[in-house]
Amino acid sequence: MESADGILDDIPLPPHVSTEDVTFAVRAISVHAPEPCPDGPRCRNDQAPHPCRLHRWGRRLLAERGLTDRQIRALIAEQEATHQ
Ligand SMILES: [Zn+2]
């Protein structure tokens, strides 16, 4: 059976990326972080092969916003520091 699920079925980005969207995307990336598994990294939140849909969505949204990898990492670290 051929299923394109998880490949083509990406979550659409909002037409205008707001600050709230950025916060939400950073949270999605940090919550949907990879977890090492024998068959490759998996999302620690939903067990989908990493990067899962929400992780990809967050990445795309932040890239759309023009954030670099380093800036994204800083935002994640910041959020993890304030979020126990
Ligand atoms: Zn996930």
Tens of pLDDT, residues 44-78: 999 999 999 999 999 999 999 999 999 999 999 99
Q: Is residue 43 part of a domain?
A: yes
Query: Could you count the other beta carbons within 10 Å of the beta carbon of residue 62?
Result: 23
Q: What is the pLDDT of residue 8?
A: 57
Ligand 1 centroid–CA 70 distance in Å is 21
Q: Is residue 12 part of a domain?
A: no
Ligand 1 centroid–CA 1 distance in Å is 23
Q: Is residue 10 part of a domain?
A: no
Instruction: Using a cut of 0.85, tell me whether the model's pTM lies above it.
Output: no
Q: Is residue 2 part of a domain?
A: no
Query: Could you count the other beta carbons within 10 Å of the beta carbon of residue 69?
Result: 10
| Residue 2 pLDDT greater than 60, yes or no | no
Q: Is residue 1 part of a domain?
A: no
> How many domains does the chain divide into?
1
Q: Is residue 66 part of a domain?
A: yes
Percentage of the residues of the chain whose pLDDT score is greater than 90 = 75
Residue ranges making up the domain that contains 23? 19-82
Q: Is residue 63 part of a domain?
A: yes
Ligand 1 centroid–CA 66 distance in Å is 23
Give the CA angle between residues 79, 82, 84 to the nearest 5°. Answer: 105
Ligand 1 centroid–CA 16 distance in Å is 23
Q: Is residue 40 part of a domain?
A: yes
